[in-house]
Structure 1
Amino acid sequence: MYDTPQTGLVGLAVLFVLILSGVRIGVALGLVGIGGLSVILGPEAAVIKAGVVAIDTLTRYELGTLPLFLLMAQVLLAVNASGDMFAAAARFVGHRPGGLAYAAVAGCAGFGAINGSSLATAATVGSVALPEMRRRGYSDSLATGTVAAGGTLGQMIPPSGALIVFGIIAETSIGELFTAAIIPGITQALFYFIVIWLLMRWKPGLAPESERAPWSERWRYLARIWDIVALILLVIGGIAFGWISPPEAAAIGAAGSFVLALRRGGLSRTQLFDAFEAALKTSGMIFLILIGALVFSVFVAVTGLASAASEMVTAMHLGPVGTLVAIAVLLLALGSVLDGLALMLLTTPILLPIVRDTGMTPVWFGIFITRAMEMGLVHPPLGMNLYVIQNVTKDVSIGRIFRGVAPFLASDFVHLLLLILVPGLALWLPGVLA
């Protein structure tokens, strides 16, 4: 009687109200999912179904990928991996016009490859790069905008926490998602380099040139990060070439991070406990969100809301590109008021069937929605990365940071459109390495 798309819409409205009123996303998803299933199937069946979903989720082999990669990131963070990466990049390109801005983007990409979180990438690289950029006379808007935008690379460059979550929600290969993210991640960084180059051509005073580091110093700093780079290449390359599965790669990465820490002088007991605590807290939070999202997706499936939405979009005859552009506009609108993970978990059960109807695969959609999530992190009014950067540079107004990130956000729109028009950006490499 109540298993109709209208019931799904009511549940969706209630979910929005709960999220916007401050209820934790995992709790809100779980409450709406169980409440909706109780109305449709009855309270006892709803609780049993939720329990089955929870047990099935927590016993998934691939779920071990997340806490291990988080532990790897925390250990490398404790031994100043982000600072070393930025310092090495700065020695090679820092003397060029805007060189430290290039180095900040490169540092964000490098740290994103071991961290998987945009907020953490922006905060850690920002704490190292921003003081140095400002000391050398860089414009506050260029410095803060570069790091805020570069921080979003943490979501795309594998191993990415967002892609792991999407893989579990959409029941899609995490290894394929990681491989598919490599080219979009590289091209995203290249787009940011182009923005910096254009800004330097337009207004050279934004970033004065500085002294060139001698080659002896460059090699010394490069020697400080070769082990980190080797570990990243082993983890990502192993997954891409199919030598190891993502959980195995995560285990190797976590173990390798401890070896690197020992090589660099070891970890104190406090640092070790803090690393485990941070990894466990974040993992527990994400596990709760995952369970809530999967219960909510069962509710959406039972109501037929996803099928109805797909039929409605098909009836509009927008064509594949028009449909994907419309989805992009919807994601960007929601991303301006919703947290990135909430955006992914809320929309995937509804939008994935529509995307499949356009001929796109779940792997492509995983990259697409992650890219839209990243834009939400630097898109007003929420723009969490911008507030993270303001916390690092408290004397710079949020308006100035918004203006600084605007050129990079413009390049993000172009990059997202390119991903729609040239899906091979995400699908070519997994096809070659399959």
Structure 2
Amino acid sequence: MTFATPETGVIGVLILFALLLAGGRIGAGLGIVGVGGLLIVLGPEAALIKAGVIASDTLTKYELGTLPLFLFMAHIFFSIDASRDLFDAAAKMVGHRRGGLAYASIAGCGGFGAINGSSLATTATVGLVAYPEMKQRGYDDRLSTATIAAGGTLGQMIPPSGALIVYGIIAEQSIGTLFTAALLPGITQALLYAAVIFILVRVRPGLAPAGPRATWPERGRALARIWDILLVILLVIGGIAFGWISPSEAAAVGAAAALVIAVVRGKLSRETLFTAFSETLRTTGLIYLIIFGALIFSVFVGVTGLSDAAGTFVTELGFGTFLTLVFVGLILLMLGTVLDGLGLMLLMTPILLPIVEASGMTAIWFGIFLVRAMEVGFLTPPLGINLFVMQGVAKEISISSVFRGVLPFLASDFLHLLLLILFPALVLWLPTVLGT
């Protein structure tokens, strides 16, 4: 145990940081640094035994079954053009208002995010539907691209969220409680984005001209195309929030319901099913490797005493709860500009979670705050990946224009993070009331 010191932990973190910046795979980097560090700190035999125990415990976790089922549900909904139907229904309801299609994009991203759980996929799929429509209606390109890129981050917050599932497994927290805790932050995030659009189109009306009003029969037909999708979303999220079904059961219900909807709509072919299965297996295997690597890395950080040392350092600074959480937030925002979201979560959770808990806040609160900080990283130039995804959809728009357009939405994100610190009840109230 000669090398079981915080300094060894710092060296391991720096090596992992360098691997991620060099473009290394997250799961492989976490596993290599974690196992390598344990070999040095504990010795070969103890390190291999520890890694084997972690692998066995991880693969037998009941919660892991949640992830592939939700991924399968998302792929089936993707095959039936759920994103197009959700955006079209929202556009029919509010598209005639100034900035209406921008509001509809936020609503479409929220709806599709609830069945997809991925920020990047939500941005890409809704962007392919919403951006051409906004361009045709004369919307400003910067507003259009920024709205969709910002709305895409709702995919990580609104349950079911892949990021929250991964965090719950790593931090050993209830996935159902995390999903319930994410509801109010997800809603307030969407409302803040809508407020940004409202202010922008009032200050500069030319950004988003009003469009023709859809008739009530047209609205009815649009809503008729999504009632079954909305029912599944409400059943999955509501079932978890009210404790009627566990997250794993909700995932199974959602996947089965998605299959039924695809059959009823006549869009379930052998090719569709094969694609959904293959993509689900590929993504699940990748995420399982990441989770395994993250748990080994967490053990390495714990053995070196780095988490305790970091907590002691922050305590000695004499910060209160508020300043400690602001300090944690600034660290996450700075690292989020150079690391992808999942890398940020897996690297910093074992280090920052003890600090947050020592300040008097819970691991559930930190999970929601961490995912929000990840989302801000998706929108922060120069490496905000949602911005590049959106620019890939709108190829005629320069990336610098996308960067400029997203700044008001970034300001609302910073405000939202501050609100989560000032009013933790935004996260903790609903799980307390519902008893999840």
TM-score range, shorter chain: over 0.9
The aligned residue for residue 43 of structure 1 is 44
Which runs of structure 2 are paired with 1:372-387 in the superposition (5 Å)? 372-387=373-388
CA distance in 2, matches of 1:358, 1:263: 52
CA distance in 2, matches of 1:134, 1:70: 31
> Structure 2 counterpart of 1:65, which letter?
T
CA distance in 1, matches of 2:392, 2:220: 33
Aligned residues: 434
Please state how far the C-alpha of 1:268 moved relative to its aligned partner. Answer: 1.6
| TM-score in terms of structure 2 length | 0.99
The aligned residue for residue 149 of structure 2 is 148
Please state how far the C-alpha of 1:266 moved relative to its aligned partner. Answer: 3.0
CA distance in 1, matches of 2:45, 2:265: 55
| 2:189 is the counterpart of 1:188 | yes
> Structure 1 counterpart of 2:8, which letter?
T
| Matched residue SS, 1:2 | coil
The aligned residue for residue 172 of structure 1 is 173
Which runs of structure 2 are paired with 1:113-262 in the superposition (5 Å)? 113-262=114-263
The aligned residue for residue 101 of structure 1 is 102
| 2:9 is the counterpart of 1:16 | no
Please state how far the C-alpha of 1:277 moved relative to its aligned partner. Answer: 1.1
CA distance in 1, matches of 2:188, 2:85: 23
The aligned residue for residue 4 of structure 1 is 5
Deviations 1:325-379 (A, max 9, x none): 0110100000000010000000000100000011111100000000000000010
| Matched residue SS, 2:98 | coil
CA distance in 1, matches of 2:258, 2:303: 44
The aligned residue for residue 309 of structure 1 is 310
The aligned residue for residue 420 of structure 1 is 421
> Structure 1 counterpart of 2:185, which letter?
P
> Structure 2 counterpart of 1:293, which letter?
A
| Matched residue SS, 1:22 | coil
CA distance in 2, matches of 1:335, 1:264: 41
Please state how far the C-alpha of 1:291 moved relative to its aligned partner. Answer: 0.4
The aligned residue for residue 64 of structure 2 is 63
The aligned residue for residue 350 of structure 2 is 349
CA distance in 1, matches of 2:191, 2:121: 21
CA distance in 1, matches of 2:19, 2:123: 28
Judge conservation of contact 2:90–2:107 (CA < 8 Å) in 1: yes
| Matched residue SS, 1:242 | coil
CA distance in 1, matches of 2:125, 2:433: 35
The aligned residue for residue 400 of structure 2 is 399
| TM-score in terms of structure 1 length | 0.99
The aligned residue for residue 324 of structure 2 is 323
Which 4+ residue blocks in structure 1 deviate beyond 4 angstroms? none
Please state how far the C-alpha of 1:22 moved relative to its aligned partner. Answer: 1.8
The aligned residue for residue 333 of structure 1 is 334
CA distance in 2, matches of 1:219, 1:21: 51
> Structure 1 counterpart of 2:205, which letter?
P
CA distance in 2, matches of 1:202, 1:55: 58
> Structure 1 counterpart of 2:238, which letter?
G
CA distance in 2, matches of 1:35, 1:221: 56
Please state how far the C-alpha of 1:318 moved relative to its aligned partner. Answer: 1.1
The aligned residue for residue 282 of structure 1 is 283
RMSD: 0.6
Please state how far the C-alpha of 1:91 moved relative to its aligned partner. Answer: 0.2
CA distance in 1, matches of 2:267, 2:150: 32
CA distance in 1, matches of 2:377, 2:93: 32
Deviations 1:223-257 (A, max 9, x none): 10000000000000000000100000000000010
Deviations 1:63-95 (A, max 9, x none): 000000000000000000000000000000000
Deviations 1:267-293 (A, max 9, x none): 121111111111111111110010000
Please state how far the C-alpha of 1:58 moved relative to its aligned partner. Answer: 1.0
> Structure 2 counterpart of 1:8, which letter?
G
| Matched residue SS, 2:379 | coil
| Matched residue SS, 1:377 | helix
CA distance in 1, matches of 2:384, 2:203: 26
Percent of residue pairs bearing the same amino acid type: 66
Judge conservation of contact 2:79–2:267 (CA < 8 Å) in 1: no
Unpaired runs of 5+ residues, structure 2, are none
The aligned residue for residue 91 of structure 1 is 92
